[in-house]
Amino acid sequence: MTRMIALWTLTLLVAFGNCVSVDTSMNRLNVNMEMTSIVFLLKICNYTTQSSVSSFTSWWYGEFPTKLNECSLGNVRFNKTKNIVVSAYIPCKFKSAVNGKIVDNTVFEAFNETIYNYEWGYYVAKNAGFDISAYKYRLLVYPRDTPATFYGLASVGCYADGCYSWYNTDTYTPSLFLHELGHNFGLDHARTPTDEYGDDSIMGYTSNQCYNAGHRYALGWSEPKSSIKLLNSKAIVNASYTLSLREFVKVDDIFLEYVNVSNQLKSVEQSLHVSVLQSDYSTVQLCSLVNVGDGCTVKQDISITIRLSKKNAGNVMFSISQEEDNGLLGFESNQNNGETHFLYAWVLFVSALGSLLMLMQSAT
Ligand SMILES: [Zn+2]
């Protein structure tokens, strides 16, 4: 059954010490720009199996800007005239721009050494035959018959003269390019505690998902539905949030995001991802509640517990509790704190909203 994703909402019932509207603990990268790029389709020494400029360009202009616009939420503009594709040849031997030594591209090791990527980047930048300073992002696409084994590489952030990324694959996807460009934008990976590429976002498994909430926030592309700072207070403030797809709530540097994960990797379609944004602009996914979950315990310097407290076909409600020495403050505890009526009113409201959404879905 195909669900009408746009109609799905998550409601968060939040019970915390205090709520404040602004959290300034994380410096944001604030990427909002007109993209300027040059793609070099490389032939290197005797490795010459490469796409033509025309065929690559038609793919590049067809799929990439659409995905870039979607994943940047319209914050990065892509004008074809400022994003060009050229072919480039790198000879078997040339003089290094880094140390003046001869770079020998006839040896197998050349394709496994990261330093050669930089050498080749500098080489094509210098020998393009025209001034490429107007193109901030320099993308080097390898020939397909090299012994290189990586799919994509990029610097995290940029060099003084530009931002470089490298691609080595038979299958071009916008996701791969957006992963590497994400590094150029300043992002590190979207991990789980045990997996470098842990979550389903572009900085993780490079699936069809876009950047996760923490990364979108770091880049200055989207704002939280609500920003909450946890304080060591036992005072309880209740609030309720209805999240549409991709909206998120920020709890210090923890992000709770409602996402659609319908792809080959997952048999489910919606989940609530909980991840924390690190100071190196990586994210660590702490848990992923998939439609019906058992709750989620987040162990960071602060400790919160997220409980699934109600579910029906069109609406999932969570309570988030801050853990304290004497147990959990949260949904159940609140009812013992004389706020039963307040919570009960919200439960009724949420139930009514869920019923309404079910009706809307069945009518669509
Ligand atoms: Zn990466």
Is residue 122's pLDDT more than 70?
Answer: yes
Arithmetic mean of pLDDT over the chain? 72
| pLDDT in the model for residue 14 | 31
Ligand 1 center–CA 327 separation, angstroms: 39
Distance 55 CA to ligand 1 centre (A): 26
DSSP state of 280: T
271 CA to middle of ligand 1, Å?
24
Q: Check whether 170 has a pLDDT greater than 70.
A: yes
pLDDT one-digit tens code per residue, 192-240: 888 899 888 999 986 678 999 999 999 999 999 888 776 554 433 444 5
State the residue for tokens 């509790």: 321
- Residue 178 in 3-state DSSP? helix
**How many A from CA of 201 to the centre of ligand 1?**
12
Q: How far is the CA of 74 from the centre of ligand 1 (A)?
A: 23
Residue bearing the bigger pLDDT, 249 or 218: 218
192 Cα–ligand 1 center, Å = 14
Å from CA of 168 to ligand 1 middle? 13
Q: Do 259 and 245 touch, CB atoms closer than 8 A?
A: yes
Q: What does the pLDDT read at residue 13?
A: 31
Separation of 146 CA from ligand 1 center, angstroms? 21
Cα(48) to centroid(ligand 1), Å: 26
Rg for the chain (alpha carbons), in Å?
Answer: 24
Highest mean pLDDT among 85-94, 161-170, 202-211, 307-316: 85-94
Please give the Cα distance from 209 to 191 (Å, whole number).
14
Task: Say how far apart CA 130 and CA 315 lie, in whole Å.
Answer: 57
What is the arithmetic mean of pLDDT over 133-139?
96
Ligand 1 centroid vs 339 CA: distance in angstroms?
A: 47
**pLDDT bucket at 359, cuts 50 / 70 / 90:** very low
Q: Tell me the HSE value of 359 on the side-chain side, using a 13 A CA sphere.
A: 6
How many angstroms is it from 349 CA to the middle of ligand 1?
Answer: 43
Between the CA of 187 and the centroid of ligand 1 the distance, in Å, is 9
Q: How far is the CA of 141 from the centre of ligand 1 (A)?
A: 16
Angle at CA 29, nearest 5°, toward 25 and 35?
A: 165
Cα-to-centroid distance, 227 and ligand 1 (Å)? 28
Q: How far is the CA of 234 from the centre of ligand 1 (A)?
A: 41
CA of 190 from ligand 1 middle (Å) equals 9
Q: Which of 15-29, 72-86, 245-259 has maximum average pLDDT?
A: 72-86
